[in-house]
């Protein structure tokens, strides 16, 4: 079973993909504004800023992987979305738990702060859930709108996952650390 790919010209592909990537730029701008909203807390606890890239990266990776697997399933099989969603919720929480543990241990060892370690673990745990939900719900929404779930879903999932993950992390930090 091989993939059949119809070649398109480069200009067509650039026009088709650019809007989604520009949405990613807007998401980056949104994350700057979010971080600015937590400027006081970040200046008082600069170590919070050091951990943002890992938290955002892991959340984005979980969401992108879920999306890729889901879109592949859609292309190859008939998918029962509700059953898959229930399974992926368990997967997302598990992945958040599993990736959050070593990062919380690292956070404790690096900064000697149990509350910071707990903040990191809880943020990663919750972000695992959010990431899989976005990775399923966004392409499902695209399909319901009659759009190709392979085009734009990844950028939208990544952008929203990034925004939500930084919000969750910093909100938990405010609750736990301040």
- For each successive 10 residues of the chain (178 residues), what is the average pLDDT? 66 86 92 95 96 95 91 82 88 96 97 98 97 93 88 88 96 96
Residue spans per domain, the chain = 10-177
The confidence score (pLDDT) of residue 3 equals 57
What SS3 class is residue 49? Answer: helix
Measured CA to CA, the distance from residue 55 to residue 47 in angstroms comes to 13
Whole-number pLDDT of residue 161: 93
Element spanning 153, H or E: helix 153-177
Query: What pLDDT, on the 0 to 100 scale, is given for residue 2?
Result: 58
CB 165 within 8 A of CB 60: yes
- Residue 30 CB coordination number (10 Å): 16
pLDDT value for 42: 95
The confidence score (pLDDT) of residue 52 equals: 96
The architecture of the domain spanning 10-177 is Orthogonal Bundle (1.10)
């Amino acid at each position: 079973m091989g993939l059949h790919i119809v070649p398109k010209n480069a200009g067509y592909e650039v026009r088709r993909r650019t809007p989604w990537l520009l949405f990613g730029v807007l998401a980056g701008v949104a994350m700057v504004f979010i971080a600015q909203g937590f400027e006081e807390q970040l200046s008082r606890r600069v170590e919070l800023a050091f951990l943002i890239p890992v938290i955002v990266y892991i959340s984005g990776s979980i969401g992108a992987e879920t999306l890729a697997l889901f879109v592949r399933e859609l292309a190859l099989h008939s998918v029962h979305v509700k059953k898959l969603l229930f399974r992926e919720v368990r997967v997302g929480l598990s992945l958040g738990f599993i990736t959050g543990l070593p990062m919380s241990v690292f956070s404790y060892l690096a900064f000697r702060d149990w509350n910071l370690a707990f903040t990191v673990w809880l943020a990663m745990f919750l972000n695992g859930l959010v990431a899989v939900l976005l990775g399923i719900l966004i392409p499902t929404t695209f399909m319901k709108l009659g759009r190709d779930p392979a085009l734009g879903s990844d950028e939208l999932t990544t952008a929203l996952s990034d925004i939500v993950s930084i919000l969750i992390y910093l909100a938990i930090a405010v609750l736990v650390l301040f």
